[in-house]
A and B are shown apart, each in its own frame.
Chain A
């Protein structure tokens, strides 16, 4: 009897479990049994009518669509093109960078009839997009990050990215003209080239108007850890920092912490002025709506990535409207606005060069020689692994 008890109860659970799941399958089968069953092969035949009259475009986000950050910036872009005639968008949020995103892409293609996909997270590219793109050569895959390599990656993959550090440069100017302590704070996710470039441009902008200003950097180590971001922000305020900015997936926590501690802040990814009505100065915003509209026009004109009609690599900055500056907050003085607008005008007419020598890193080493000018398109800038003079902090 004693021997039998432990054996008996689990058996009961197994049967219960087996039945529960099969029951779910069976009941669902029965209740949609009256609707015509849809074998997988019909999915492909369902695509042409959709693409003939209407273009279906799929968007995939790694986090929530209203994160006041990276995902929201792309969602706003989706909002712009969903208004265009003959365009239908489908989307899915909170898709991790695992086999799940491959499933989502396949489902968008096969079940929703999408012929253009924007899987927006950087980590979706390799191996997920590359694998699915190879299997679906007629679908256009457009990825944010600028990772396309000619001859290595499938020809129906394209990448785009923006030189948002131009807007960071101007944010740095506004921050340095507003600060009283001369100490600026930057909460950053990881010491990777994209992030370092933003920190350096921000610092160069700040020191172009206030050569004694310093930028304190704290790397949190990951894209979204709100607790560490708040800790980093608070500790910098305690050290006398009075203007704060960040490069993390969702700047919400940093901006709100800055407002709570009654200091100034500049935003990133999207407009965060409503999070900090008093301290918000300006910020760098993506303008994906413009980029996506161009892509949609090209696709509608019958062009594809594979035949070369759509360029595989698309990049731009303020001038090309890939990014923009948030409207100035109430704390920005007219003199500051004037100075910032002057630099903005130089970016818009293409005469502004951020990385013009001589530039030293914060260990005193010369990283860009005198008289050398690195244009925004220069590939060496995309391998950046140094922090410019004036940054307090180190990589690793």
Chain B
């Protein structure tokens, strides 16, 4: 890797995303100006409420934390060529597993309880998406449709449990399970108000990256994702790979459910299902299913959500304008993908053949 000789292709990776962000800000600025809001005030608020201070950074990270984990639920199977969008369902199942374990073992030491909650969430979320993988591999059921539909099943299971067998009778108007004991709550990272779920997300993304990019297992996954027939001829256990990857994917989203239960809600109820799973799909798509890039995209999305909040509070923009802003940013970033390899300026002069296969093998 000679950095100096490939400065042109390196600068492509820097300039195109920056240009995309600037372009989306300009477009939104024009939109605001047409609506009679000063675009520069808008920019200032976007920055101040997302990244402007330690306070805003924490708000951004709090919003980003669950998205890192739920993004993996789409990103991992994507390397196998599967489009799984069952993130929400796996998160909900993980939440159910976590609260069940947390209540069942509540008398044990807090660390043991938290580990039990995490394991229960991982297993339940994992099995949920593994079911999607099994349906796909053994029965040929389209994994996108089945995982989407399984979201509704998971939500229905949650509502049934919370309004029936697991209901705390004192939760009158918002049916919930019994609360966790306070000692078993997942605490915030010392000195901040960001909970430990952020660390879980970072670790999971790094592990996922090395698993996919640096191990024979990951190589097998990528090969099967590239051409399933070739992988079978090469003797790869495609069925096992499918089930394993789907289990890992679901377990990440399940862990996100555990964090929501243990750190935020301290009980399970309908608030578990608020769209973190669907935002995770967006993160995975924008990060092009790369686990490490998911971390950064999740933080960017967290910042966008935080600035959306700031725009409503400080400038009185309505919530629809905020959605317009978030939509513009993601559309421009996705469109900017098509610019890679198109501009002659960014082509390295010495060794062009290395760069030419710029299209994703798995998309």
A9 touches B357 (CB 8 A): yes
Contact of B296 among A12, A21, A98, A190 (CB under 8 A): A21
Number of interface residues of A (CB under 8 A): 67
Q: Which of A18, A194, A382 has the most CB of B within 10 A?
A: A18
What is the chain B residue whose CB lies nearest that of A63?
A: B319
Of the candidate stretches A89-97, A235-243, A264-272, A344-352, the one touching chain B is A89-97
Which chain A residues lie closer than 8 Å to B226 at the CB level?
6
Interface residues of A in 1-54 (CB under 8 A from B): 5-10, 12-21, 23-25, 27-29, 31-32, 35, 37-40, 43
Interface segment among A106-114, A164-172, A252-260, A310-318: the answer is A106-114
Contact flags A202-222 to B (C-beta < 8 A → 1, else 0):
000000000000000000011
Question: Closest CB-CB distance, B11 to chain A, in whole Å?
Answer: 10
Partner of B299, one of A10, A21, A90, A94: A21
A300 within 8 A of B: no
CA distance A106 to B16 in the complex (A): 35
Candidates A23, A43, A93, A99; contact of B319 at CB < 8 Å: A93
Write out the residue numbers on chain A whose beta carbons fall within 8 Å of the beta carbon of B270: 123, 222
Q: Is B338 an interface residue (CB 8 A)?
A: no
Task: Give complex CA distance A91, B255 in Å.
Answer: 33
Report B141-166 residues with CB < 8 Å from chain A CB. 159, 163-164
Report chain B residues within 8 Å CB of A382: 172
Contact A91 B300 (CB under 8 A): no
Picked from B17, B173, B271, B306, the residue with its CB within 8 Å of the CB of A97 is B271
Partner of A5, one of B59, B63, B303, B361: B361
A357 within 8 A of B: no
Whether a CB of chain A sits under 8 angstroms from the CB of B314 is yes
Residue on A nearest B275 in the bound complex, by CB = A96
> Across the interface, do B275 and A6 meet the contact criterion of CB distance under 8 Å?
no
Q: How far is the CA of A396 from the CA of B44 in the complex (A)?
A: 51
A64 / chain B contacts, CB cutoff of 8 Å: 319-320
Q: Which residues 3-42 of B have a CB within 8 angstroms of A?
A: 9-10, 13-14, 16-18, 20-22
Task: State the Cβ distance, B199 to closest chain A Cβ, in Å.
Answer: 15
Majority secondary structure, A binding face: helix
Q: Compute how far the CA of A383 lies from the CA of B47 in the bound complex, rounded to whole angstroms.
A: 47
Interface residue ranges of B271-317 to A (CB < 8 Å): 271, 274-276, 287-288, 290, 292-293, 296-297, 299-300, 303, 305-306, 309-310, 312-314, 316
Pick the contact of B309 from A25, A98, A103, A190 — CB < 8 Å? A103
Interface membership of chain A positions 68-102, coded 1 if the CB is closer than 8 angstroms to chain B and 0 otherwise: 00000000000000000000001111111111101
Of A17, A38, A98, A100, the residue contacting B52 (CB under 8 A) is: A38
Knowing A5-B357, A16-B17, say if A396 contacts B51 (CB, 8 Å). Answer: no
Q: Is the CB of B18 within 8 A of A20?
A: yes
Known: A32-B47, A103-B63. A194 touches B173 (CB 8 A): yes
**Contact check: which of B17, B47, B275, B276 meets A19 at CB < 8 Å?**
B17
Residue of B nearest to A385 (CB): B172
The answer to whether the Cβ of A331 comes within 8 Å of any Cβ in the partner chain is no
Closest Cβ–Cβ distance, residue A103 to chain B (whole Å): 5
The complex places the Cα of A396 from the Cα of B299 at a distance, in Å, of: 41
Are B175's CB and A103's CB within 8 A?
A: no
B: residues with CB less than 8 A from A are 9-10, 13-14, 16-18, 20-22, 43-44, 46-55, 59, 62-63, 159, 163-164, 172-175, 193, 195, 209, 213, 219, 222, 226, 260, 263-266, 269-271, 274-276, 287-288, 290, 292-293, 296-297, 299-300, 303, 305-306, 309-310, 312-314, 316, 318-320, 333, 354, 357-358, 360-361
Q: Name 11 A/B residue pairs within 8 A (Cβ), A-sorted.
A: A6-B361, A9-B358, A19-B18, A21-B299, A23-B14, A32-B47, A92-B319, A93-B312, A107-B59, A123-B269, A127-B265
Q: Which 6 A-B pairs have the closest CB atoms?
A: A17-B293, A20-B17, A16-B13, A21-B296, A96-B274, A28-B47
